[in-house]
Amino acid sequence: MSTLGKKAWWTLPENFHSPLVLYMEEDLEKHIFGQGDEYLHSIEVHSHTLIQLEPWFTATGQTRVIVVGPPRARKWLLSMIRSLGSRDWCCQDQ
């Protein structure tokens, strides 16, 4: 919801320029977004973004992830994905 005098993020065209596009392994996608993408809507709502997941036919079963939203929200989401995809336990705990 928008606050008084502030437009909702999805009504501002600049939030749709330069979408974040990344590829992730299918296992990481399931870990982050849940089986059958059950957490996708909650992540979108809480991060103020729209996220599109597209399975790609590759040997490792990658998913293309496209994220639009305010730059700060896209940066936070990228950081979260990198942390969860890291093999470093300390990084994952962040």
For 57-86, how does the pLDDT look when each residue is reduced to its tens digit (9 = 90+)?
777 778 899 999 999 999 999 998 888 876
Give the tokens for residue 68. 């639009």
| pLDDT at residue number 38 | 94
Please check whether residue 1 lies inside any domain of the structure: no
Give the tokens for residue 6. 């502030």
d(CA 47, CA 65): 15
Please check whether residue 4 lies inside any domain of the structure: no
Domain at 50, CATH number: 3.30.1370.10
| pLDDT at residue number 92 | 46
Please check whether residue 2 lies inside any domain of the structure: no
User: CA 67 → CA 57, 59, 80, 94, distances in Å?
Assistant: 20, 24, 13, 21
> Residues 62, 25: contact at Cβ < 8 Å?
yes
Q: What is the pTM of this model?
A: 0.79
| pLDDT at residue number 16 | 92
Boundaries of domain holding 41: 12-86
Please check whether residue 3 lies inside any domain of the structure: no
Please check whether residue 7 lies inside any domain of the structure: no
| pLDDT at residue number 19 | 94
Is 27 a residue whose pLDDT tops 50?
A: yes
